[in-house]
Amino acid sequence: MQNFTFKASGKVISLLEKIIKANIIVEGLENIPPNPCLFVVNHFTRMETFLIPYVLFKHKGMIVHSLASEVLFKGMFGKYLAAMGTVPRREPRRNRMIIHDLITGQANWVIYPEGLMVKNKDVFEKGRYRLNTPLWRGPPHTGAAVLALKAEIARHDCFHWSKEHNNEVVKSHEERYDFDAQNDISSLSTMIVPVNITYYPLRPGKNFLSNIAGLFFKELPKKLEDELKTEGGILLKHSDINIYFGKPIPIAPEIRLGMNIGRKYLPFIPKERRDSIIIDFKRKKLTTEAMKQIYTRTKVHIDHLFCTALRTAKEPQIHRKRFARALYLSAIETGMMEKRRTHPTLERGLIKCVVDEDYSALQSIVALTESVGALRVDGDKYCINKDHITGEDYPFYDIRIKNAAVVIANELEPMNKIVAMVERNINAPEEILQKRIAETLHEWNQLQYERDYEKYYDPELSKERKLGSPIYLPNKDKTTGIVLAHGYLAPPEEMRPLAEYLHSIGYSVYVPCLRGMGTAPNQLKDVTFDDWIYSFDKAYAIIRNSCKNVYVGGFSAGGLLALIAAARKKNAIRGVFCINTPIVLHDIKSSFAPGVVTWNELVEKIHLGELKLEYIESQSESPDINYSRNYTKGVMELKLLINACRKSLFEITAPLLAIQGTGDPVVKPESAKIIYDHASSEIKEIKMMDSSNHIIIRSEGREKVFQEIERFLLKQENS
């Protein structure tokens, strides 16, 4: 019956998953052992009562029982919970039922160690785990640890005293926990599995569920209003519900030594008293270990860092760009911390905060903190109201709907190293933040290239390692910097002559290694054009945090990236120049790429991988540095990059210079005209160069190209 109920529940939730907008993400399933398990879970919403058992049944085939509030056991829903193996918290036999199942392995259990929904997420105070709720203010309950210890002591006793033929001890356990020691005991010991659930974003408010309930109540009861607006907001909006199963905590080692010592050296102490001593000695340790695993495995997201920055900022007003830099640096440093889990909002999209672009996740948390009064945006400044981010004046039962920002900040408190790091960054001077971001990103770029080179190295096809290293030429005068991007199939070395020329006339220059280039051709199978845009953005962030003014430029495919950057960053840049940029290509073979990719996917499906057409040989004007092999996947991504550039040309408003060789064998000269015609720049020009080469930045006559770029730059500097 219970198995049927779980399957039926699974079908219902699977259907709901298609209807609701929340995304349920499950991680750490490999950590779940075959042993009898007590899953200890942080408790924030009612839906966890059936969500965790469903997830475990769906992914591991486990029958899992849990505890729930008595108020839920009414009507059909109460019968459903009972059929699922859910037990009311105040059920008199509940502890014996749990211990029985842990001894026999008949079922696993889910327990919420806080004892109730911790709506304020206030579980950490002065370096210790300490609950702050209306029902309890003090250390976490140790009940879960006690149950696990009692189950393991009973199992240990039954195995040991059966060998000693002491039936009295065995019988007492059998009678107390209702099992047959000869046939029912699991040979595997009990384990506690800490589970963290993180919700993002937390945006309580009116929704379909709360609106429907409003039809039946003149005024919604406070608790019901809070739960409908909070949990409805999670389920009915595009939210992430991240469930993480942590490393199991074995219980047997915790009791073995104490029981052996007790039997050998303390036989004069009654058995039950010896057991109690072990339990009293170990329960706090186990509880603290479990709580630490639960609360330090939170999936850290942008809201955590933002709200913590508001809470720890010492100044009442902070410039928005400085705040964004502190936020970005904190995200980088969080990602570098061992065993820390980060949400996608702290990954590559966050770089928009420091490259003169809007980031929707940042705008969302700004809007939330504004709505609760913790923040006021005044032009280029954030004005912080500390009274609305500490959370001391908000009632427990409706704090989630009154001030979710406090709840979000509280959730990060147990991760005190991150909190301290955010506090350090948000209070750091602007120039320190800029310096650390530039240095960290350059080191990151270099490290990523080194790792990629090692991973993809091909003794026949890879070029010298140094050719692919990012080129950074800082100038003592930090007024103006230039981001330069190399072409497709080439390494940064392709741009060195131009980079050194621009550096010699007073500019700081950065040439990133576009992901997949400078290593070996087979890496092109594993990268996308978004990776190239991200490579460019990291370089832009380095120059933006090193120089007051920024220009962007590029050759060939690098020109596409420079144009896309100019379209996105608008007038935040001083100008953009592109050289032989492939809006229209000569090589008809490039149009075969989509068909080749489709063919490869087809033969893969029918298990004829040997028929795949993965690459073609490539002839280059610079065979000493460029790839000699061109993968069809790479060509496909190049075409997508071209399309993305075409669509964004009209958004370019910065001064523009398009340079094009008249006899370019790769790019049709009309490409420059298309760029010129579609860009919205008031200042724009085309310069046609008399050359039959594609790589005119390295061929004879390149000085003329360099001089045209210098002329363009000086013109903007003097305007």
Whether 376 and 522 map to the same domain: the answer is no
- CA distances to 114, 228, 405 from 364, in Å: 30, 21, 12
Q: Is residue 246 domain-resident?
A: yes
Q: Which of 1-15, 40-54, 163-177, 665-679 has the lowest mean pLDDT?
A: 1-15
Whether 450 and 392 map to the same domain: the answer is no
| pLDDT value for 697 | 98
Whether 190 and 260 map to the same domain: the answer is yes
Whether 69 and 189 map to the same domain: the answer is yes
| pLDDT value for 10 | 60
Q: Is residue 593 domain-resident?
A: no
pLDDT of residue 79 exceeding 90, the answer is no
Q: Is residue 636 domain-resident?
A: no
Q: Which of 125-139, 275-289, 319-333, 501-515 has the lowest mean pLDDT?
A: 125-139
pLDDT of residue 637 exceeding 90, the answer is yes
**pLDDT tens-digit map of 455-499:** 999 999 999 999 999 999 999 887 999 999 999 999 999 999 999
Whether 392 and 446 map to the same domain: the answer is no
| pLDDT value for 5 | 62
Looking at per-residue pLDDT, the higher value among 399 and 383 belongs to: 383
**pLDDT tens-digit map of 542-559:** 999 999 999 999 999 999
Q: How far is CA 596 from the centre of its chain?
A: 34
pLDDT mean over 613-633 = 89
**pLDDT tens-digit map of 564-574:** 999 999 999 99
**pLDDT tens-digit map of 191-226:** 999 999 999 999 988 876 667 767 666 676 677 677
Q: Is residue 361 domain-resident?
A: yes
Whether 306 and 265 map to the same domain: the answer is no
| pLDDT value for 495 | 99
pLDDT of residue 603 exceeding 80, the answer is no
Whether 410 and 438 map to the same domain: the answer is no
How far, in Å, CA of 561 to CA of 554, rounded? 7
Whether 40 and 82 map to the same domain: the answer is yes
pLDDT of residue 76 exceeding 80, the answer is no
% of residues, the chain, pLDDT over 70: 90
SS3 for 548-580, per residue? CEEEEEEECHHHHHHHHHHHHHHHHCCEEEEEC
Nearest to 644 by CA among 527, 552, 540, 566: 566
CA gyration radius, the chain: 31
Q: Is residue 206 domain-resident?
A: no
Phi, psi for 214 (deg, rounded to 5): -65, -20
pLDDT of residue 372 exceeding 80, the answer is yes
pLDDT of residue 73 exceeding 90, the answer is no
DSSP state string for 161-210: HHHTT-HHHHHHHHHHHT--TTTT--SSPPEEEEEEEEEE-------HHH
Whether 705 and 559 map to the same domain: the answer is yes
**pLDDT tens-digit map of 177-199:** 999 988 999 999 999 999 999 99
pLDDT of residue 601 exceeding 80, the answer is no
pLDDT of residue 35 exceeding 60, the answer is yes
pLDDT of residue 668 exceeding 90, the answer is yes
Sign of torsion over alpha carbons 155, 157, 158, 164? positive
Whether 338 and 448 map to the same domain: the answer is no
Residue where a domain terminates, one of 428, 450, 469: 428
Whether 133 and 274 map to the same domain: the answer is yes
| pLDDT tier at 514, thresholds 50, 70, 90 | very high
pLDDT mean over 584-605 = 62
| pLDDT value for 142 | 94
Q: Is residue 605 domain-resident?
A: no
| pLDDT value for 170 | 87
| pLDDT tier at 8, thresholds 50, 70, 90 | low
How many domains are there within the chain?
3
| pLDDT tier at 4, thresholds 50, 70, 90 | low
| pLDDT tier at 7, thresholds 50, 70, 90 | low
CATH number at residue 666: 3.40.50.1820
Q: Which of 596-600, 643-647, 702-706 has the lowest mean pLDDT?
A: 596-600
Which tokens hold the place of 75?
A: 């009507």
Which tokens hold the place of 464?
A: 């010298």
Q: Is residue 387 domain-resident?
A: yes
- Average pLDDT score over the chain: 90
Whether 646 and 547 map to the same domain: the answer is yes
Residue where a domain terminates, one of 395, 428, 461: 428
| pLDDT tier at 607, thresholds 50, 70, 90 | low
| pLDDT value for 599 | 55
Which tokens hold the place of 58?
A: 């769906």
Sign of torsion over alpha carbons 408, 414, 417, 419? positive
| pLDDT value for 71 | 73
pLDDT of residue 503 exceeding 60, the answer is yes
pLDDT mean over 282-311 = 97
pLDDT of residue 591 exceeding 60, the answer is no
Q: Which of 396-400, 505-509, 524-528 has the lowest mean pLDDT?
A: 396-400
Q: Which of 156-160, 603-607, 632-636 has the lowest mean pLDDT?
A: 603-607
**pLDDT tens-digit map of 87-120:** 888 889 999 999 999 999 999 999 998 878 898 9
Residue where a domain terminates, one of 252, 279, 295: 295
Q: Is residue 603 domain-resident?
A: no
| pLDDT value for 261 | 81
Scan for tokens 């699922």, then name that residue: 84
pLDDT mean over 651-668 = 98
| pLDDT value for 75 | 77
How far, in Å, CA of 620 to CA of 708, rounded? 25
In eight-state DSSP terms, residue 605 is H
Range of the domain at 400: 299-428
- CA distances to 300, 328, 337, 414, 659 from 426, in Å: 17, 10, 18, 19, 43
